[in-house]
Amino acid sequence: MVPHLVTALNGPLLDLEKKILEATPAIERWFRLEWQEHTPPFYCSVDLRNAGFKLAPVDTNLFPGGFNNLASEMLPLAVQAAMAAIEKYCPDAKNLLLIPESHTRNVFYLQNIARMMQIFRQTGLNVRLGSLSADITEPTPIDLPDGSQLVLEPLERSANGRRLGLKNFDPCTILLNNDLSAGIPAILEDLNEQTLLPPLHAGWALRRKSNHFHAYDEVVKKFAKMVDIDPWMLNPYFAKCKDVNFQERTGEDALVATVDTILAKIRKKYKEYGIKEKPFVIVKADAGTYGMGIMTVHDSSEVRDLNRKQRNKMSVVKDGMEVRDVIVQEGVYTFEQINESVAEPVVYMIDRYVVGGFYRVHEDRGVDENLNAPGMHFVPLAFAQQHAVPDMKAKPGTAAPNRFYMYGVVARLALLAASLELEKTDPNPEVY
Amino acid sequence: MVPHLVTALNGPLLDLEKKILEATPAIERWFRLEWQEHTPPFYCSVDLRNAGFKLAPVDTNLFPGGFNNLASEMLPLAVQAAMAAIEKYCPDAKNLLLIPESHTRNVFYLQNIARMMQIFRQTGLNVRLGSLSADITEPTPIDLPDGSQLVLEPLERSANGRRLGLKNFDPCTILLNNDLSAGIPAILEDLNEQTLLPPLHAGWALRRKSNHFHAYDEVVKKFAKMVDIDPWMLNPYFAKCKDVNFQERTGEDALVATVDTILAKIRKKYKEYGIKEKPFVIVKADAGTYGMGIMTVHDSSEVRDLNRKQRNKMSVVKDGMEVRDVIVQEGVYTFEQINESVAEPVVYMIDRYVVGGFYRVHEDRGVDENLNAPGMHFVPLAFAQQHAVPDMKAKPGTAAPNRFYMYGVVARLALLAASLELEKTDPNPEVY
């Protein structure tokens, strides 16, 4: 189900956690049955926020970029999960083409690519890198700090135009690690003979956070009923605001009203559960990523009082894409800390398997702020070091509970939501 | 594909090994396609013998009893593989009934059972133990050295006779870890509503080694053609001898003739490859296990010259089952050593995944002898400790090759053979 990793938590098990740990057999059975109906995305990472009274996914990334941050002891798990995924999509595959982000010489990102190549090579595939960048016109080596090397190669369509590959390399499967924020390049269109993973509509050119969280609502409703908890414990309120232009200050009234509504709903819940914290919301671009176009708001007046710099920041996200629609989402405090810095867990999955995780840590950010920002660093989650494997049925005191389990559950709820989201937003359901 | 474990080998890569490592993508693809056609046994362990010029499985166990000998770091892999297996057979399972060997208080075996229970609990199942022993008439606790406890419970059929379970425990899946050497107990018959794994005909009451090695012949023939090697490199010669009675000395002439034939064939191969070792064969019961009813023979005269003690030893195997048919199999030297003791690798698989392995080591046995005998001990294979993950494409010298890979390949060939064997020997193919 979920490997036992060492989390930063060390207080007693909280009610929510206890309830989820106790329902393990029902939960695992439920997931098995859901995966009979829905195909999980090929891979996925989920950012979680743990406020103790509430645990929620705040970002579900379908182009995970931090495989290099997983503990190296997790690799065999990732390889085994990748085998299962490959077997499902393309058992007769020999060649895998991986398409990374363009225009990046970010060493951490390149190490992520190197790690992914290792994983897929270990499943027994030949793996090569194809670049969407027009600057790559011939095989271009890039040296990595560990002395190894990546080679970016120019993509090319086959003579008949039906297939995508590299020179002398015809892949069965094409794996995107490029989130397509800049739009869908023509060279990726109409690939009906090869498996493109994830599909084009998973990219930010088409994907919208609001669709994801709508699907998540649905998933959590079912799940919460089964485990008998308030779905709110796992699900932040959210609402979408269309046509907001921070520069021209259009759509501002609607945004202020939405912020007020969500804050009021949170206040009511905090009162119901006797939570003393101050409610806040996160305003973020409906189609944004990379931690860009995100702000924390405690009072709707803050939306009106943005200064020019803040307005600029909220207007444009990755690859210069303009922000138009935003979502207002209940903010979830993160009460986990590593060395007195605020931390949030990130869970990595391949196919339907949790293959590892790490903490995103930021020294200069508060418990109510986005941590996905320059200055963050990563702390891999290691396997719990114990003689015995954690075992709920073990003699009391002989085995620690797997606190990472709940993270794996909530991350998989987001994974399932992504699966529903991709089904619903598929422009060609019959090809899917 | 196969985790990178530290083997006892440290010489240069041998030709056979090199060929297999180089063919990795083709091999993994081949296995993926084979598993589309054939369902692997639920779990399996394979004993291998590595003579350098030759690597072969000598025993394929469908009721593996050494999960406790795997390094604990392998457990997450085992859990993930078990999840995949459960999902295939019974996605809606909540309860798993495990049936261990009867009449054993062997602490090592009980630790194997405890380890298996941990693995299956971690897949999210409720696991309890049902005993076939008539002595278990009520829940019977057994203390283990680590302070934990197993509880054996009496099996019972449901009121309508259609289901098997324990008091207040109705399992969806029943997992046998009892090899049924003593015959098929009535209480296990006609269970059409529940999944019994592995099926009854996998037990030694019905199973025959000769069927397995016939299926293995077929598998290796196909595989060797693909990788372009002599199938003999992976496959010992064998022949079956029916109606041998060591006590009454009937069938002895036929056995002597068979031994001569196999020895002659080996001699020819040794000559072809310039191998200087002395050929030998292993004579063993066609339906035996536990390392019982096995002898090493260098010359057919040894078969005639058996003394009374040796005749007794060859006549009876586990649970008093009488030996009637035997197989004569080409002996494979094991040239692996740990601390100057002869060692042979044992590879563990769940579903189609290699989940770990260990060395069986025997201080008092020679390179041409059965090591599965009192006095043996086990050395778990640990993950290779390296900064980088082994990677065939890495800069030369920066990563060690995964020498365990070949073991994983040959073990999976035996697994595939077991799958074919169970298909062919299934008494109710339509129910299967």
User: Best residue in B4, B30, B87 to probe A by mutation, most A CBs within 10 Å?
Assistant: B87
Chain-chain contact of A32 with B86 (C-beta, under 8 angstroms): yes
Of A68-72, A293-297, A384-388, B93-97, the one with minimum mean pLDDT is A384-388
**Closest C-alpha among B179, B185, B109 to residue B142:** B109
Q: Is the pLDDT of residue B182 over 50?
A: yes
Tell me the CA distances in angstroms from A207 to A64, A414, B327, B389, one per residue in order: 15, 15, 63, 34
Q: Is the pLDDT of residue A351 over 90?
A: yes
Q: What residues of A are in contact with residue B149 (Cβ under 8 Å)? A: 395
Q: Is the pLDDT of residue B274 over 80?
A: yes
Confidence of residue B390 (pLDDT cuts 50, 70, 90): very low
Measure B142 CA to nearest chain A CA, in Å.
13
Q: Is the pLDDT of residue B322 over 80?
A: no
Half-sphere exposure of B314 (CA within 13 A, CB side): 26
Chain-chain contact of B147 with A122 (C-beta, under 8 angstroms): no
pLDDT value, residue A385: 44
pLDDT value, residue A396: 40
Query: Is the CB of residue B168 less than 8 Å from the CB of residue B153?
Result: no
Tell me the CA distances in angstroms from B97 to A138, B101, B120, B165, B174, one per residue in order: 59, 13, 10, 7, 5
Q: What residues of B are in contact with residue A92 (Cβ under 8 Å)? A: 29, 32-33
Q: Where are the alpha helices (DSSP H) in A140-251?
A: 209-227
Measure A13 CA to nearest chain B CA, in Å.
19
Confidence of residue B393 (pLDDT cuts 50, 70, 90): very low
Q: What is the pLDDT of residues A28-68, one digit of tens each?
A: 999 999 999 999 999 999 999 988 889 999 999 999 999 99
Measure A321 CA to nearest chain B CA, in Å.
37
How crowded is residue A108: how many other Cβ atoms within 10 Å of its Cβ? 13
Q: What residues of B are in contact with residue A81 (Cβ under 8 Å)? A: 80
Give the Cα separation of A236 and A50 in Å (integer).
Answer: 12
Confidence of residue A341 (pLDDT cuts 50, 70, 90): confident
**Closest C-alpha among A46, A75, A38 to residue A355:** A75
Confidence of residue A422 (pLDDT cuts 50, 70, 90): very high
Measure A354 CA to nearest chain B CA, in Å.
9
Question: Which residue of chain B has the CA closest to A80?
Answer: B1
Q: Is the pLDDT of residue B320 over 90?
A: no
Tell me the CA distances in angstroms from B170 to A250, B121, B160, one per residue in order: 63, 16, 13
Pairing of strands A55-61, A95-100: unpaired
Q: What is the pLDDT of residues A371-382, one digit of tens each?
A: 887 778 888 876
Q: What residues of A are in contact with residue B84 (Cβ under 8 Å)? A: 84
Q: Name the percent of chain B lying above pLDDT 90.
A: 56
Q: Name the percent of chain A lying above pLDDT 70.
A: 90
What is the CA A312 to chain-centroid distance, rounded?
Answer: 25
Question: Which residue of chain A has the CA closest to B33?
Answer: A91
Give the Cα separation of B305 and B309 in Å (integer).
Answer: 11
Identity of the residue in B26, B93, B389 whose CB atom sits nearest the CB atom of A72: B389
Chain-chain contact of A1 with B125 (C-beta, under 8 angstroms): no
Chain-chain contact of B77 with A77 (C-beta, under 8 angstroms): yes
Q: Which amino acid is at B135?
A: D
What is the CA A99 to chain-centroid distance, rounded?
Answer: 18
Pairing of strands A173-177, A195-197: parallel
Identity of the residue in B36, B121, B392 whose CB atom sits nearest the CB atom of A391: B121
Q: Is the pLDDT of residue B65 over 70?
A: yes
Q: What residues of A are in contact with residue B79 (Cβ under 8 Å)? A: 1, 3
Half-sphere exposure of B395 (CA within 13 A, CB side): 11
pLDDT value, residue A410: 96
Interface of A with B in 8-37 (CB under 8 A): 24-29, 32-33, 35-36
Confidence of residue A323 (pLDDT cuts 50, 70, 90): confident
| A52-88 exposure pattern, b = at least 16 Cβ within 10 A, e = fewer | bbbbbbbbbbbbbbbbbbbbbebbbbbbbbbbbbbbe
Q: Name the percent of chain A lying above pLDDT 90.
A: 56
Interface of B with A in 258-297 (CB under 8 A): none
pLDDT value, residue B366: 80
Q: Assess: ipTM above 0.90.
A: no
Place of tokens 């996925």: A44
Q: What residues of A are in contact with residue B123 (Cβ under 8 Å)? A: 1, 28
Question: Which residue of chain A has the CA closest to B4?
Answer: A76
Question: Which residue of chain A has the CA closest to B74?
Answer: A76
Q: Counting beta carbons within 10 angstroms of the beta carbon of residue A97, is it exposed (0 to 12), middle (13 to 18) or buried (19 or more)? A: buried
Q: Counting beta carbons within 10 angstroms of the beta carbon of residue B205, is it exposed (0 to 12), middle (13 to 18) or buried (19 or more)? A: middle
Chain-chain contact of B398 with A3 (C-beta, under 8 angstroms): no
Q: How many cross-chain Cβ pairs, A to B, lie less than 8 Å apart?
A: 134
pLDDT value, residue B432: 43
Among A290-304, A406-420, B15-29, the range with the most confident prediction by mean pLDDT is: A406-420
The answer to whether the peptide bond before residue B198 is cis (omega within 30 degrees of 0) is yes
Measure B281 CA to nearest chain A CA, in Å.
36
Measure B241 CA to nearest chain A CA, in Å.
40
pLDDT value, residue B429: 73
The answer to whether the peptide bond before residue A198 is cis (omega within 30 degrees of 0) is yes
Q: What residues of B are in contact with residue A86 (Cβ under 8 Å)? A: 32
Q: B174 φ, ψ to 5°? A: -120, 120
Give the Cα separation of A348 and A72 in Å (integer).
Answer: 13
What is the three-class DSSP state of B258? Answer: helix
Give the Cα separation of A378 and A363 in Å (integer).
Answer: 11
Q: What residues of B are in contact with residue A393 (Cβ under 8 Å)? A: 121
Q: What residues of A are in contact with residue B26 (Cβ under 8 Å)? A: 94
Give the Cα separation of B59 and B284 in Å (integer).
Answer: 11
Confirm or reject contact between A40 and chain B (CB < 8 A).
no
**Closest C-alpha among A402, A291, A290, A408 to residue A348:** A408
Token digits of residue B272? 């072809």
Mean per-residue pLDDT over chain A, rounded:
87
Question: Which residue of chain B has the CA closest to A83?
Answer: B1
User: Best residue in B116, B226, B389, B398 to probe A by mutation, most A CBs within 10 Å?
Assistant: B389
Interface of A with B in 109-168 (CB under 8 A): 117-118, 121-126, 146-149
pLDDT value, residue B318: 66
pLDDT value, residue A397: 41
Of A158-162, A423-427, B68-72, B371-375, the one with minimum mean pLDDT is B371-375
Mean per-residue pLDDT over chain B, rounded:
87
Interface of B with A in 289-348 (CB under 8 A): none
